[in-house]
Amino acid sequence: MILETQTQSSRLSGISSKDYANLQSIVLIASEHDLEPNRLIDAFFEAFKNKWAQCGSLQISCRKVIQDSAVFLITEGEKVVWQFPINLELIENKYFRDSIRHIPTPEKVKVNGLSKTLKIDELLVGMKGVNVAAEIIDIPPTRAVLTKWGTHALVSNVKIADETGSIRLSLWNNQIETVHVGDKVEIKNGSVSRFADKPLLKIGRKSMLSVIPELQIM
């Protein structure tokens, strides 16, 4: 089963929920790339000292330091795996580094060979292939952006919610016009990244967004 953040976090004294979420994400990334979590933390520390480090197939670079945190970029070849800030005490303090041993490795979330629909409070940054059912509760005005391919596009990070919480869902161009506040939607094969230091649910080319009026969310 997916990690239960509040329950597990209460067992690790001295670690904030934000820092615990970072440790969870490190465990998840390590699991997906057949690495020991502490080996990945060692690579973060090396990257902080030397600006760059290699860990298995992953390259880790320290992009910038902000007060007591550093922003790290993880890549695999030309593919961006993740970018996020980490409290430097997590990678420098032995107690916090050892705490990662008490965080279980996430299992693949499947039921009878099929992907399970997750609740919003089960989503972790770095997850891929996730299914979510939720209700659209806010649609901000669209904004024009320049994509990495040099084209212009419209984007709106709408907010979706279920009984466990809420998360922003990134919609592009025509996707924005297909939903309205109050719609029940189902997202299949999405991914979770970090934007403005908060989780963001994303829809890729192989993902599917469906509006299902009769979907029971609450």
User: DSSP of 10-71, one letter per residue?
Assistant: HTSTT--HHHHHHHHHHHHHHHHTT--HHHHHHHHHHHHHHSEEEETTEEEEEEEEETTEEE
Q: What is the pLDDT of residue 90?
A: 85
**Residue-range definition of the domain harbouring residue 49:** 5-102
Question: Which parts of the chain sit beneath pLDDT 70?
Answer: 1-14, 105-115, 213-218
Query: Is 218 a member of any domain?
Result: no
What pLDDT score does 128 carry?
A: 86
12 pairs with which residues across the strands? Answer: none
Predicted pLDDT of residue 14: 67
Q: Which of 147, 166, 163 shows the shortest CA–CA distance to 155?
A: 147
What is the structure's pLDDT at 87? 86
* Residue 90 contacts residue 96 (beta carbons within 8 Å): yes
Whole-number pLDDT of residue 217:
46
Amino acid type, 126: G
For residue 48, the number of C-alpha atoms closer than 13 Å in the C-beta half-sphere is 20
Same domain, 121 and 207: yes
Asked if 181 and 143 sit in the same domain, the reply is yes
Pair 177, 87 in one domain: no
Task: Please report the DSSP string for 147-175 in residue order.
Answer: -TTS-EEEEEEEEEEETTEEEEEEEETHH
Cα–Cα nearest to 217, from 111, 113, 132: 132
Last residue of a domain, one of 81, 102, 123: 102
Residues 195 and 128 in one domain: yes
For residue 144, the domain's CATH number is 2.40.50.140
pLDDT > 90: percent of the chain: 31
The reported pLDDT for the residue numbered 134 is 94
